[in-house]
Amino acid sequence: MIAASALDLIGSTPLVALDRVWPGPGRLVAKAEFLQPGGSVKDRAARAILLAARRDGRLAHRTPVVEMSSGNMGAGLAVACAVLGHPLFVAMSAGNSPERVKMLEGLGAAVVLVPQVDGVPGQVTGADVEAAAVAARDLAKETGGFYVDQFNAVEGIAAHEQTGIEILEQAGRRVDAWVAAVGSGCSFVGVARRLRAANPATRCMVVEPEGSRPLAGETVRKARHMLQGTGYGRTPPHWDASLMDASIAVSDEEAVHWRNRLAHEEGLYIGYSAAANVCAAVKLMKSGKLRPDALVVTLLCDTGLKY
């Protein structure tokens, strides 16, 4: 089969078993989102938001596209903008890894780096992200561009309902638990919605960085953490609390440990949020709260090449 363009390489990612790091009881499998052309889970939302805006006339032919991004949404947008013929401007916190700037610029995007407010390089806080969002809104005004606004756009969740449909088809059986970290929340919410519709008993577990757990109802004590792209210390605008059973905390040390294990034992070179997802899924499977033959699904959000 010949894909018509890079846009058609987005989605339909495989599920991969993590039998070497979790030999059982039960089975842990992960959706390999790092295989998409922009290298992350965000490609799905990027494509969905741009195609919807073009369809309903909010995004005209050749009009610039503008977004605030930790790098992954930017890369997804850069892929889609290249194919669809839109110039792209990305405002990004300077705390995100330089590899992301390289990739974005390589894909033809213009990157504006926004100084950090209270984070440090490699650890981007909610305040850093808000500063980047302000810069992006200014850029949209200056360029007359379409502001993507990933946190408020509704198309991202619909795009991830498709991820949920794929998981159900690929698993071919009852899914007992779904485990994922939250940035905009689109991937957690979209997938949880579909899995719960198929099996209301599916346990949907959020992953939050230790010390920054508003979804668990905790006051944020430590805004800085390594799980880039997630854990911004605030509840996303389209959050649906009815889909969350509980939150699992993961420390930076655990994320580093699991990132190494996934690389060395599974041959999967992925980022920190993906490693945190696997760490949290293993904690859930060790908890004894699931049936012995449970199938747990998590997300490998992005490639390790971006760090």
Ligand X SMILES: Cc1ncc(COP(=O)(O)O)c(C=O)c1O
- Could you say whether residue 193 binds ligand X (CB under 6 A)? no
Segment near ligand X (CB under 6 A); pick from 58-66, 206-214, 224-232, 255-263: 224-232
Using CB under 6 A as the binding rule, whether residue 72 contacts ligand X is answered as yes
Say whether residue 41 binds ligand X (CB under 6 A). yes
Residue 36 touches ligand X, criterion: CB under 6 A: no
Tell me how many degrees the CA angle 56-185-67 measures, rounded to the nearest 5: 50
Smallest separation (angstroms) from ligand X to the CB of 272:
7
Q: Does 96 bind ligand X (CB under 6 A)?
A: no
Sign of the C-alpha dihedral computed for residues 285, 286, 289 and 292 taken in this order? positive
Nearer to ligand X, 184 or 202 (CB): 184
Identify which of residues 123 and 294 has a Cβ nearer to ligand X in the complex.
123
Is the separation of the CB atoms in 104 and 80 below 8 Å? Answer: no
Between β-strands 177-181 and 203-209, what pairing exists: parallel, antiparallel or unpaired? parallel
Question: Is the distance from CB of 159 to CB of 190 less than 8 angstroms?
Answer: yes
How far apart, in Å, do the first and last CA atoms of the chain sit? 33
H or E segment and range at residue 93? strand 88-93
Token code pair at residue 235: 């509840």
- The yes or no reply on residue 13 touching ligand X (CB under 6 A) is no
On whether the CB atoms of residues 31 and 296 are closer than 8 A, the answer is no
Determine the Cα–Cα distance for residues 264 and 9; give it in Å rounded to an integer: 27
Instruction: Among 96, 125, 163, 187, indicate the residue that binds ligand X (CB under 6 A).
Output: 187
Rule CB under 6 A: choose which of 13, 97, 163, 230 binds ligand X: 230
Verify binding: residue 163, ligand X, rule CB under 6 A.
no
Q: Answer left, alpha or beta for residue 26, where phi above 0 means left and psi between -120 and 50 means alpha.
A: left
123 scored as a contact of ligand X (CB under 6 A): no
Task: Please choose, out of 38-46, 55-63, 74-82, 210-218, the segment that lies near ligand X by the rule CB under 6 A.
Answer: 38-46
Tokens of 217: 């109802």
Query: Measured from the CB of residue 43, what is the shortest distance to ligand X in angstroms?
Result: 11
Residue 129 touches ligand X, criterion: CB under 6 A = no
The yes or no reply on residue 209 touching ligand X (CB under 6 A) is no
Q: Which residue blocks in the chain are alpha helix, DSSP H?
A: 42-55, 72-84, 98-106, 126-143, 155-171, 186-198, 252-266, 272-286
* Count of chain residues binding ligand X (CB under 6 A): 21
Residue 125 touches ligand X, criterion: CB under 6 A? no
Ranges within 166-185 binding ligand X (CB under 6 A): 181-185
As measured in angstroms, the least distance from the Cβ of 26 to ligand X is 24
Can you tell me the distance from the alpha carbon of 292 to that of 134, in angstroms, rounded to the nearest whole number? 48
- By CB under 6 A, name the binding residues for ligand X: 40-42, 70, 72-73, 181-188, 228-230, 271, 273, 301-302
